[in-house]
Amino acid sequence: MGFINHRFMVIWIKPLVYENIRIAFQSIRGNLVRSVLTILIIAVGISALVGILTAIDSIKNSITTEFTRLGANTFSLQSRSMHIQIGNTNYRSKNYSYISYTQAREFRERYSFPATVSISVNATQVATVKYETKKSNPNITVRGIDENFLQTAGYELESGRNLTLRESFEGDNVALLGGGVIKKLFPGEVEPLGKFIAVGSGKYQVIGILKDKGSGFGNSGDQIVLLPFTNVRQYFPRPQMNFRVSVMPKTTHLLEAAIGEAEAVFRNVRGLNIMDDSDFLIEKSDNLVNLLLDNIKYVTLAATIIGFITLLGAAIGLMNILLVTVAERTREIGIHKAMGANSRSIKQQFMIESVIIGQLGGLLGIVLGILAGNGVSMLIGSSFIIPWKWMFTGVALCLFVSLSAGVLPAIKASKLDPIDALRYE
């Protein structure tokens, strides 16, 4: 008997839920202007939250991608720390003396750890490159490298070949060109390999073309010319030319051991005593990206607070529209109760209406937020992102907001006396 009663209740409840959903949509259509305004308020809050957080995820992805190209397990020996200030925190601690050509070359010869070591030096970042009658803008980066630089810096060859060991140390007049330089100097069907270009006062034969790396942080990694570092010493000389040594261990788990060995070897190269502080910096390739990502969390927190404040306004607006609806539908509620509807069904009706408005606003906000966030993604050249985590978070927040806003109106409607409600004008 109990089983039969239970099945009867289930069959009776389902039509009641469907009826309440139908009444909720009727009420939304009947108060279209107020409902649309409330939906838009919720949509603005959710779109602000989802949009900003999607854009932040896109920026994080771009930062990680750009620095991963430098080699995930690469570190470098540098003459000074980077001068970076984010907020009130200054991340520059000390200046160090430059790394000379002799020291860089001696380190490479003495470092016996299973790793790839490269030497490079910056020549200029404002060079003009010429080929016959064509020339580039004065924004080309020229860097002196050895035969290991492409591997440690994350470059790949599109065509041609890399420098040889002899070319690196004897300073032959050969060059590797980035895609940006190729497009400017060799348009159409012209084959760059084997051609001679002018960089500064030197003539160089093109032996290799680099794969495009794309743009990041306002700069292009394709507007670059790579020359043998000994050649750069000759054609781009300056006092205290500062060299950079990069090291890539054969396997990632050897990174810390490789760093310890590199510090010991380079301290000997620099002639430091056991009591002296290291007068050089060891910079891991992921240090800067971790630093930037760590500070982005404050932007994420600010975006979340903005979204919650907007959603609080949406909750108040939704509660207001439902309270007004209760007053306008007092007589209708009285008729329902007179026909047998109990307080629970009336409460359910208003809660369903609140949830529907909240979810409609949330759906619109999620769509707008994804479009806005991926608009930023397109501007920085990152890939399209579907923020599943923030989408589910938005749905959950809308459900919480709508339930919170609907509780008071639902309770008020369920407690109306049917006789007084029927007499209400």
> Hey, where are the domains in the chain?
13-65+292-422, 76-284
> What does the pLDDT read at residue 90?
52
Distance CA 261, CA 391 (A): 47
> What does the pLDDT read at residue 289?
60
Q: Which two tokens stand for residue 395?
A: 């749905």
Distance CA 137, CA 302 (A): 41
Residue 173: CB atoms within 10 A of its CB come to: 16
Which is nearest to 307 in space by CA: 2, 11, 40, 45? Answer: 45
Q: Which two tokens stand for residue 184?
A: 């400017």
Distance CA 211, CA 178 (A): 7
Distance CA 187, CA 423 (A): 86
Which is nearest to 153 in space by CA: 46, 277, 285? Answer: 285
User: What does pTM read for this prediction?
Assistant: 0.55
Q: Where are the alpha helices (DSSP H) in 1-31?
A: 2-30
- Flag residues of the chain having pLDDT under 70: 1-17, 20, 63-72, 80-96, 214-221, 285-295, 327-329, 332-333, 336-337, 340-341, 380-382, 416-425
